[in-house]
Structure 1
Amino acid sequence: MVETLNLKKTAFVMIDLQKGIALRPHLVPYSGQQVLDKNERIAKKLANTQATIVCVHVKNDGPEILRPITDQTPISVQKQPADFSDFVLPIATDSSVKNLIHVKKHNWGAFYGTDLEVQLRRRGIDTIILSGIATSIGVDTTAREAYQAGYQLISIEDAMTDFNAALHNDTVEHIFTRIGRVRTTLEIIEMIARS
């Protein structure tokens, strides 16, 4: 079966491709730079088309930070650098791209507590192409939220990465294949070209 996309009803949602996360060392199975390159390549293919491009970044070091009581030793809360949430993809700040929106989140997922769903519903979006960092945290939570909201979901396995390769692989294989489709960057680009 040849897969295509209805670009008018499709959003490419990139999770946490920001300076304080994407530029960290030791991301696996793909480096932060590999993930950035693949996301930039897809976003350029969608720039100024009928699709919607969504750059999501997290900011949670102020009074909005969650402080749950957990069984694990809490990660020490340190003041984040002022540029922690800055987007690092060139397309994210390219004013010539008219179909791009930014969403600031304060939780793992991009839906809860943000205007993402309002932005997507107003545009008639029914399909989300999903990527970002970290696969088992922000991407997974956003994928589950999208699934529960009734969106068709396509996760891009090689345009996301994690801090733990086993978690990346398990999330892709055991979660994303149950709530949507999993494709590669090349497959997504081919789908865009046919649409």
Structure 2
Amino acid sequence: MKTNTQSAAPSSTQEQEPLLEWNKTALVVIDLQGWTKGVEYAPYSSETVVARAAELAERFREKGAFVALVHVSSRDFRDIPKPRLDASPPPMNLEEGWDDFLPGLGRAESDHVVVKKQWGAFHGTDLDLQLRRRGLDTIVLCGIASGIGVDTTAREAFHHGYRIIFAIDAMTGFTLAEHEHVRDFIFPRIGRIRTTEEILQVK
């Protein structure tokens, strides 16, 4: 079993190829917004995830690569799904500024903002359109929460044919079990798992 920050072992073919090409890769940051404040996560705190996501975003900007900041937002919540549930949804801090990006993320004017109404960042948004028009075929994913917004977006990206790289220590779950489940059983089957540092080291 891999540790929390251990990346999947690359195949011999992958070792011969660069992890990513900057001109074909986008960084997609999921839900690093006000409602995450004061919520407990595992294995990493929201502060740690924001700091690592900010490092990735800065590196992508330096390379002239595409950065998409995704958040949930609504004026009246009438456009947010309201399914009948067997379990209560995770806690959300819906005080003023709940949908604002966290300051530590260091949002830049060049970043593309994606507003979503559900877990995944593709359905009902322009994310796929923006990626395809720029000729991008790979996305690096990070954010909150590992087993909800990140996982759903990853599955959507997989269905759309994108290559996925998971910045595994720049995301976190509502529980450790949630994070470890997608890390160990889902993500390796639809993409590649790497640490923030491994992604930052790409030339």
User: Taking structure 1 as the reference length, what is the TM-score of the superposition?
Assistant: 0.88
The answer to whether the 8 A contact 2:164-2:191 is kept is: yes
Matched residue type, 1:132: G
Counterpart check, 1:174 vs 2:185: yes
Give 1:109-188 correspondences, 5 Å limit. Answer: 109-188=120-199
Aligned-pair RMSD on alpha carbons? 2.0
Partner Cα distance (1:74, 1:179) in 2? 26
Q: Which of 39, 45, 51 is the equivalent residue of 2:65?
A: 51
Aligned to 1:34: 48
Unaligned runs of 5+ in 2: 1-14
What letter corresponds to residue 191 of structure 2 in structure 1? Answer: G
Aligned residues: 187
For the residue of structure 1 that corresponds to 2:129, the secondary structure is helix
| CA shift in 2, pair 1:152/1:89, >3 Å | farther
1:58-73 maps to which residues of 2 (within 5 A)? Answer: 58-60=72-74, 62-73=77-88
Letter in 1 for 2:139: I
In the TM superposition, what whole-angstrom CA distance separates every residue of 1:25-44 from its partner, at most 9, and x where no partner exists?
A: 31110001110110111111
Is the CA contact 1:26–1:163 (under 8 Å) kept in the aligned structure 2? yes
Amino acid across the alignment from 1:39? A
Identity of aligned residues (%): 42
For residues 38 and 123 of structure 1, what CA distance do their matches in structure 2 show?
25
1:54-113 per-position Cα deviation (integer Å, ceiling 9, x unaligned): 10001256111211122235679x993231010114555333xx3x20100000000001
Runs (4 or more) in structure 1 with deviation over 4 Å come to 73-76, 89-92
Q: Which amino acid aligns with 1:71?
A: D
* Structure 1, gaps ≥5 residues long: none
2:23 corresponds to 1:8: yes
- Supply the AA of the counterpart residue of 1:129: V
Moved more, 118-127 or 66-75: 66-75
TM-score if structure 2 supplies the norm length?
A: 0.85
Tell which deviates more after alignment, 1-10 or 180-189: 1-10
* Contact residue 140 and residue 164 of structure 2 kept, 8 A: yes
